[in-house]
Amino acid sequence: MKKRLIFDEINKQINHKNAIVIVGSRQVGKTTLMRQIFDEVESHSKLWFDFDNPLDQKIFEDIEYKNIYERLLKMVNNNKERLFIFIDEIQNYPEITKIIKYLIDHYGVKFIVTGSSNFYLKNLFPESLSGRKFLYQLSPLGFREYLYFKDKISKEEAMINDINSVIKNYDYFLSKKLESDYEDYLKFGGFPEVVLTNDNETKKQILKNIFTSFFEKDIQIMTDYKNIRELRDLILLLVPRVGSLIDVTRISSELGVSRVKIYSYLEFLEKTFMIRLLSKFSKGIDRSVAGGKKIYFSDTGILTIIGHVNDSQLLENAVVNQLALFGELSFCNKKNKAEIDIILNKKISFEVKISGIEKDYERLGQLSQSLGIKDFYIISKKNINKSGFLPAVLF
């Protein structure tokens, strides 16, 4: 099993005092990643716990935290080396945060833990753990990491995280060879198990299972939502709106649900990594919060298994997820007419087209320059060998 590209970055912090917290949606590879880190730790004083197992939780159930530490020492039969404690699915036992803080402060215990949702962990880790944790988000594979997992490019090529370097190294002929891989990526997304599965029907079944587990586990564990059907129906309403501004008032009316509850559902879906929301471009700090946001799904495989979108929507959703790995994304919408699909780090603008033309590039240039953005490109599904045009496979 290949290691995720984030592995080296996390592993550098293995001897630091802070806890390492890995968050992400279910089946995104958190447990596998943590197991690989576990195998790398050269110590006999390391323990693995799975908080899906109540018996593993019980080891930490003691009002006297010193007793927990002594219990852990006995389990490794070694009191000379530093303790390394690996815990999978910590959201199942919220009390663990206080124990983590105490054991870090008093005994220097190193914790490496996973959690399935940033929404829950945002409240799970209180301010008392400020300065005691490194938080890493594990997303589905981007296309470059997908290619690395498929042995189509090297690890070094996949790890280039500077957008300008990626653009500079554009190879037209290599990009042409990757078009069939990109079709697969568009349809089935970037969950590792899906990517490493060859049979398409099995891929679909895995995606259905991931979506089902979201409802069976995440919603029940992390919320007190009484009407799961409302959330399900909202997700189904969001699918055809991919790439569009969210009209909360209209959605509220269609579902017969209050606007306040819709906002709550949207926040939950975003923080559990089901959807991605893009804010409007603004040179200021706070103005991007105001106004409508555009909706995308965090994985195109999940999107296509839930409902149907057209080719343009699917492409734009995939490109948004690809570019999100390079920084902060926003969009421009002037009086609902002139629009820029994606603005990266407030410096580079992109328009996404199935097959871009010169007029698209000229219009994008005019609008970009009016915003003070000097660099702009058409990202096209079709590989067009012209200046200012980039293929979606490049990212």
User: Alpha-carbon distance 218 to 14, whole Å?
Assistant: 28
CATH match for 7-137 among 2.40.160.60, 3.30.470.30, 3.20.20.10, 3.40.50.300: 3.40.50.300
Are 349 and 375 contacting, i.e. CB atoms less than 8 angstroms apart?
yes
What is the layout of strands, in order, in the sheet containing 133-137?
Answer: 46-50, 84-88, 110-115, 19-23, 133-137
Positions in the chain short of pLDDT 70: 118-128, 220-224, 226, 284-291, 335-337
Those residues whose C-beta lies under 8 Å from the C-beta of residue 38, and which sit 6 or more positions away, are 46, 48, 84, 86, 112
Per-residue pLDDT, 272: 86
β-pair partners for 19? 133
Per-residue pLDDT, 123: 67
Written as six digits, the tokens of 48 are 């693995």
First to last CA, the chain: 23
Neighbours of 305 (CB within 10 A): 20
Per-residue pLDDT, 286: 45
Per-residue pLDDT, 75: 94
189 alpha-carbon distance from chain centroid:
12
What residue spans define the domains of the chain?
7-137, 143-394
Are 349 and 369 contacting, i.e. CB atoms less than 8 angstroms apart?
no
60 alpha-carbon distance from chain centroid:
30
